Structure 1
Amino acid sequence: MPPIPQGQQFGANAKPRQHAAAAPVVSYTPTETVIPPTLYHKVPNLELYQKLKEAEKDVDILISRKALDFQAIQQKTIHPLNFKGETGILRVFVYNTNENQPWQKQLQQEQGKQVADPHAESTWTLRVEGRFLSDSQDNSESEAFKFSSFLSGISIDIIPNDDYPALQNSLSNIIEWRNDTGDLSRNINSASFDGLDIKRSGIFNINTKIAILVKSHSARLKLSDEMSQFTGKHESTQQELIYMIWQYVLYKNLIRKTDNLTKVPAVSSSGLHDGTINQDADNEDLTVAQADSVLKSLLKVDTFKFTDLYKLLQPHFKPRAPILIDYEVNTRKSTTLGEVVLDIPIELPLNLSKVQKELLNFNKLAFDNLTKADGIIQKLNSRIALGIVSLQNANLREDFYRSLSDDPVKFIEQWLESQAETLKALKSDEGYDEEIVRRAQYFEENESLIRDKIDLLLGSNRF
């Protein structure tokens, strides 16, 4: 028995090796979502699908416009000042201590203690100090911040009285400290002190006025009295105020032409079929709001667009006012620590690296949600395409059986004739002679046959 060639030595269960360059997998899933017009008069309620397609086009136009708006808004909102940093409480202590007061010397003598310096001058020291208390449990970064890091300025005004004639018209009555650093990137510990001490000679009480201007790392501004009554806040950003007015307009149903949103069975936007909106037609613009008595007193207009709110709200924004404290220096106690304590809400400077990480996570989450939504939409489109294919197949069967029932003899004759032509076209490949087909006469005599063969070839995907 001759030996089996090496290329033919394989077991009974062996499988042939697949070619490395195998053809890619072809998907035969239908993707057509358009119903043929001939089916609309045969199948009821198909007009609802057509309305849904038109509404989908309008929604796509709106989404495209809003995507451009959101991109423009995002470019503005990614500024560091628009992010919210870590919050906490700045606890401020205002107190004074006394040294070498007459009553202190007398008390030491009564207790049998030796007075260090009987002729020492009586003094008092006013101290303003602060400490930051973070709202978060991880306060490792905030522990290194000094009191001065949270201030734009502090002013202490000593008010002279008859007991202190030397302080009259003295320049030492006003003590000011200002933080002139406007650069957010500067080290926050560059101006570092936890407290400010003011020491003066005297044995009598005296009044002082303390002004503390807290540094703002956000775009918050002080609101006017009218706007404060409307919002219930003393400070706000422009974005927050516009959002409050938007919520108020929706609650009061002040948007013009709100019936346009409910006249169609699906989400639709009249006037968007040409892809444009006439911004000058206020009667058809859904961004125009009718001001009621409250908004009219605030904005001084009868109607307004939301794009004009920035300009209309400017008169209601004012610079942030300092915190004023009236404090009386008490020289009858060794210390008044704990009597005047003030808690001030504080927002820390923005940590850009932390914000970038949060923004990256947010965008990733949004992208994942969009991917899931796209998958759901793709599944719905596949179901719609399969339904349309089923309708088309049912329509072909209906036409076949209707033609058969109307005239069976004629239908069978036509069917046999078409099958014969198909068979003739399929068998026409036999006896192919290149010398014959090189002549134009062949194509003139067999034009109909060649046309049928081309149609059959394209229909059978044999090319």
Structure 2
Amino acid sequence: MNAPMQPNFARGFPPTAQRSPATPRRPPGPGHMPVAMPQHAVPAQYMPAQRVVQHVAEVPRRARKPTDKNMPDGIEDVVIGESVQQYKNLHELEKRLDAAVVRKRLDIQDSISRTSKKYRTMRIWITNTVENQPWQGPGNNPGSGRYKVRIEGRLLDDNTDSASEDEDEGPANKDDAMDEDKDEADESKESASKKSAQRFSHFFKSVTVDFDKPANAIPDEVKPVAWTKPQVPPNTTSAPPNAEFDSIQFTRASQENLNVTVSLVQDESQERFKLSKELAEVLDVEEETRSGIVLGIWDYIRAMELQEDEEKRTVRCDHRLRSIFGREQMFFPQIPESIAPHTSPIDPIKLPYTIRVDEDFHKDPTPTIYDIQVAVEDPLRAKMMALMQNPQYTTGMRQISALDDQVALIVQALTHSRARHSFFTSLSNDPANFVNRWVSSQRRDLETILGDVNTGGDASGAEFRRGGDASVWDSTVAREAVRYMLAKPDAAAR
């Protein structure tokens, strides 16, 4: 014997007591006043479900903006002209254009994230002048001889041959250019490209002049001269005034020639390090940044196929990597901290110079000139950054998004118009059968929504007259509707 079908209850709620359909409902009378039933505590496991259901019921539905911009099917048959095909061609072109723009922006971002450095030649002039030396004339105090050293650097133009440039045009031959007023006058005569170039102090963290100490030297006369670039305050783009200059100079008392060494410590946005012999053998370079070291090791691992099959982050060390890490296997995230013992700061650039105070040299003084390579930002990098941060792009994207919303609304209106056109076309072709099918379809939808197949209405449709296994009465909807009808109080009273 089949068990009677029980109504389904929401998950998480205990079934309440059901009155038998055969039990008549007695209306409340004077002697049958409703009695307040004692309230029992609801078990804790049911409280979250009740709160969730209540919360879901209280959340209002929000209208979603249409996003479909594709023309509805069959719209070409009812639209005169080639406008639909032209729209589809434009829509396809827009897709290709959007894909190209996104791909180019990703390429630009990838280029910006990489180390985009370019090396240019900086020419450095070192010269000195003298005053109050004994050979400069009678009346000079024998012990008051002094010298003044000037170190000046300037980037050479890309199209300038450093070997063929006339040295007489260098600032080191301007003996009267020691004061700041004349420096500013000389800078105002330079070309526009030289004005916009980064200044000498931009490329170095510190400049130090060390003296070779002779046996009879006075300590103050051979004390090192040092300049260190000041720290730029946070949220500040411009450097302090004392950190922007093209030349540095100092003066001391001396009547003898002195040998000095000018040490220049380069300042780079991404600091490079000198690599150990083992690490240089793997990367095939002697100097590299930390990010470049990690990327170089990763390229070496992929080229030698040293990744484990199951755990890709585990690396099998060959003889070169074993000489660096000292183990058979290496976890790749540990590589950045493991390469620290194999890196060291780059040696400063050392420029020897002899301070001449003798008369023979100053009859025809010539500066000492050095050409060094300094790292500068790629000019394209600034242009790419300006392109990525262009506010007009953001404004344009907002306008395009607003136009896309309008196009989606128009396409939605076309879809509705196409549905109405199909409706009235079918109605005009066969009105009687169309109305019967439409009414039957609408009745079935309504009864499915209400869960009530037989409410006393007219169920004379063709689908209701047909019985059997494939009929409407054998469907799950019909069974649920009958169960719902039997559970209603008025049906049980009948």
TM-score (norm 2): 0.46
TM-score (norm 1): 0.48
